[in-house]
Amino acid sequence: MLEIQEVTKKYGKKYALQGVNLQLTEGVYGLLGPNGAGKSTLMNIITGNLQPDDGRVLWNGTPLKSLGVDYRRMLGYAPQQQGLYDGFTGRRFLSYLGTLKEIPKKALAAEIETVAAYVNLTEKIDSLIGTYSGGMKQRLLIAQAMMGNPALLILDEPTAGLDPKERVRIREKIRELSKGKIILIATHVVSDVQSIAREIIFLKSGEIADIDSVEALKSRYGAAHLEEVYMEIFGEEAVCHDETDSL
Ligand SMILES: Nc1ncnc2c1ncn2[C@@H]1O[C@H](COP(=O)(O)OP(=O)(O)O)[C@@H](O)[C@H]1O
Ligand SMILES: [Mg+2]
């Protein structure tokens, strides 16, 4: 179980997160909110890349700080920023990150094939990343996060820049992999998560505006679609229906 307790983060005088509390158990969670809501900040804190000003993150009751490398070993993270090595092939990139994750050498080649197939990159895995499209780079980033079958998978805007077909493919793969894991997906696109998430977490200006199952949210807000709930919470202008919206 992942517990986030009273997490607060300020940049200067501005709160990026304020008193965030969450308890995540097995399943897919959708972290929904417009740009600037604090999604990436929260994910950076959960992954241990950023220290909160206040509060703590616990994995099965133990603070992250005490877990160290054991936590990193069971964590998969696809950050929002693409920092890929253009001079590497996809295979070399995955091999490099797999080694950092301490995936046993014997298992690494097969693991690379598996995750490349997950994101439909098998054909391009020996090409240089510099020749990849934006969508292909995004899929490689998701593949590296999935390597080693992590118990906690954190995906920050994973479908940004993907065409609708690949969006659906990734979504279905996430659904398939979700058993026995915690998967947290940040997005501002309702359709990315509404059919796969056990709970939707609405993050608004650094605070949790609401959290529940899609069905419970729809009934509480008297809404036929989750988009209406999103609109109710964030306002009309924040709604993002477009499958091909760019980021
Ligand atoms: N490194 C930083 N320095 C200053 N402000 C930041 C930094 N990172 C994020 N912020 C601010 O914190 C808020 C939340 O940002 P972020 O977590 O990136 O939101 P989201 O991922 O939901 O778009 C925004 O107001 C953003 O401008
Ligand atoms: Mg973000």
Give the tens place of pLDDT for each residue, 10-31: 999 999 999 999 999 999 999 9
Q: What's 155's DSSP letter?
A: E
Q: Edge-to-edge strands of the sheet including 62-63?
A: 14-24, 2-11, 54-59, 62-63
At 239 the pLDDT is: 62
Q: Pick from 105, 123, 149: which residue ends a domain?
A: 149
> Which ligand is in closest contact with the Cα of 38?
1
Q: Pick from 119, 149, 179: which residue ends a domain?
A: 149
96 and 118, same domain (yes or no): yes
Residue 185 has pLDDT above 70, yes or no: yes
Report if residue 220 sits inside a domain.
Answer: no
- Compute and round to an integer the Cα radius of gyration of the chain: 18
Name residues whose C-beta falls within 8 Å of residue 9's C-beta, 6 or more positions apart in sequence: 15, 16, 17, 38, 41, 45, 50, 52, 53, 206
Cβ pair 182, 3 in contact under 8 A: no
pLDDT band (50, 70, 90) for residue 84: confident
Q: Does 41 contact ligand 1 (Cβ within 6 A)? A: yes
Report if residue 245 sits inside a domain.
Answer: no
| Domain span at 137 | 84-149
- DSSP for 30-84 reads EEE--TTSSHHHHHHHHTTSS--SEEEEEETTEEHHHHTHHHHHTEEEE-SS---
Query: Which pLDDT tens digit goes with each residue over 42-52?
Result: 999 999 999 99
Instruction: Report the interhelical angle of 214-221 vs 226-234 (nearest 10°).
Output: 60
Residue 94 has pLDDT above 90, yes or no: yes
Stretch 178-187: mean pLDDT: 96
Instruction: Report the interhelical angle of 90-100 vs 134-146 (nearest 10°).
Output: 30
CA dihedral 208, 212, 218, 219 (to 10 degrees): -120
Residue 246 has pLDDT above 50, yes or no: no
155 and 70, same domain (yes or no): yes
158 and 62, same domain (yes or no): yes
Residue 70 has pLDDT above 90, yes or no: no
Interval between CA 105 and ligand 2 midpoint (Å): 34
Q: Does 16 contact ligand 1 (Cβ within 6 A)? A: yes
Stretch 134-142: mean pLDDT: 94
pLDDT band (50, 70, 90) for residue 224: very high
Residue 160 has pLDDT above 90, yes or no: no
Stretch 39-67: mean pLDDT: 95
143 and 101, same domain (yes or no): yes
Q: Which of 8, 9, 11 is the pocket-test mutation for ligand 1 (most atoms within 8 Å of CB)?
A: 11
205 and 173, same domain (yes or no): yes
Hey, how many other C-beta atoms are within 10 angstroms of the C-beta on 135? 16
57 and 101, same domain (yes or no): no
The CATH number for 40's domain is 3.40.50.300
Pick from 67-81, 125-139, 140-154: least confident = 67-81
At 244 the pLDDT is: 44
Interval between CA 84 and ligand 2 midpoint (Å): 18
69 and 156, same domain (yes or no): yes
Q: Does 96 contact ligand 1 (Cβ within 6 A)? A: no
Residue 63 has pLDDT above 70, yes or no: yes
pLDDT averaged over every residue in the chain: 93
Residue 247 has pLDDT above 80, yes or no: no
Name residues whose C-beta falls within 8 Å of residue 13's C-beta, 6 or more positions apart in sequence: none
User: How far is the first Cα of the chain from the last one, in angstroms, to the nearest whole number?
Assistant: 31
Reduced DSSP (H G I as helix, E B as strand, rest coil) percent helix, strand, coil of the chain, to 5: 40, 25, 35
Cβ pair 212, 198 in contact under 8 A: no
Q: Pick from 149, 165, 183: which residue ends a domain?
A: 149
At 238 the pLDDT is: 66
At 161 the pLDDT is: 84
Residue 139 has pLDDT above 80, yes or no: yes
